[in-house]
Amino acid sequence: MNASERDRLSRLWEEHMRTPFPANMRRREIEGEDMVYLDASIAVGVSSSLSEPFDEERRAALLSCLAAVEKVLPLIDDEGGANEHYERLRAMAALAVEIGNAGPR
């Protein structure tokens, strides 16, 4: 992974941390996915990828979350910025997986 991809992930992460969780996604499940849990799971994987080497277990968990967010994205309405929120989560998860694929830093 090059520095610009890492910088992009860092910027997306900072934006994510500043943005409130969409209220309409609390206590909501779409296609069997708990939307709060999905947000938190991706956040843990992204945060880990920015701070320490990525192991296979974390990479697999993040790939599972990436598949889940891609499954639910077409079903999310944009009320309260929910679509943008989960699009950003998808982008961060994909970049974090790429960081993990790049091996140790």
C-alpha dihedral, 51 to 54 to 60 to 62, nearest 10°: 20
pLDDT in tens, 43-56: 999 998 888 877 88
Q: What is the DSSP string of 8-76?
A: HHHHHHHHHHHSPPPGGGTT-EETTEEHHHHHHHHHHHHHHHHHSPPPHHHHHHHHHHHHHHHHHGGG-
Q: Is the pLDDT of residue 3 over 90?
A: no
At residue 104, the pLDDT reads: 46
pTM, full prediction: 0.89
